[in-house]
Amino acid sequence: MTSSSSNYSDSIQNYRFDVFISFRGVDIRNSFVDHLYAHFIRKGLFVFKDDKRLEKGESISEQLLQAIKDSRISIIVFSENYASSSWCLEEMAAIFDCKQQLKQTVFPVFYDVDPSHLRYQCGVYQNDFDLHRRKKFKHDPDKIRRWETAMTDLANSAGWDVRNRYVVLRLFYSLSFAEFIAYHMFECILNLI
């Protein structure tokens, strides 16, 4: 085998999942995310969606971190309460690491949140970060900085702003916005293969 073909085969990553979906369950588990997930499944994609409800204080599992690494694409659905969960913020930071180190494709979805609030951690996101900073992680400022860096970068990525989803739904009539996003992400996945 030539060295160039060896380098090519070394650079190909075997993916266990086509898509990893990161979301805050209390906000959108039984609506937007379920529609997105169902549409991906109908298209024949392998999707990881963590359905466990975690107890306060639990840390992100190695299995979940591996699922993020084993995914071709990650979708982060930023919602109003996303940053209140240290688990979600850890997922987001792990996804950011995969974007940086493994060149994973990441699509942010801004579900009823202003993307600028994520970029600058202001509005409701400021309250959540202040709470993490004062109480939960006051002895670990590096963790907060890591989350802020990841969130700012990801919020600056091209994604979907779903603040005015009712207008968008009228535009697409019977096609739900989740299906619309899933369709476009499916097209992106096909282009990556």
Distance CA 128, CA 125 (A): 5
Please indicate whether residue 80 is annotated as part of the active site: no
Strands of the sheet containing 105-110, edge to edge, are 47-49, 17-23, 71-78, 105-110, 160-161
The active-site residue, picked from 80, 91, 148, 179, is 91
* Locus of tokens 């600028």: 116
Contact 117, 125 (CB under 8 A): yes
Of the candidates 92, 85, 30, the residue with the CA atom closest to the CA atom of residue 56: 85
Annotated active-site positions, please?
91
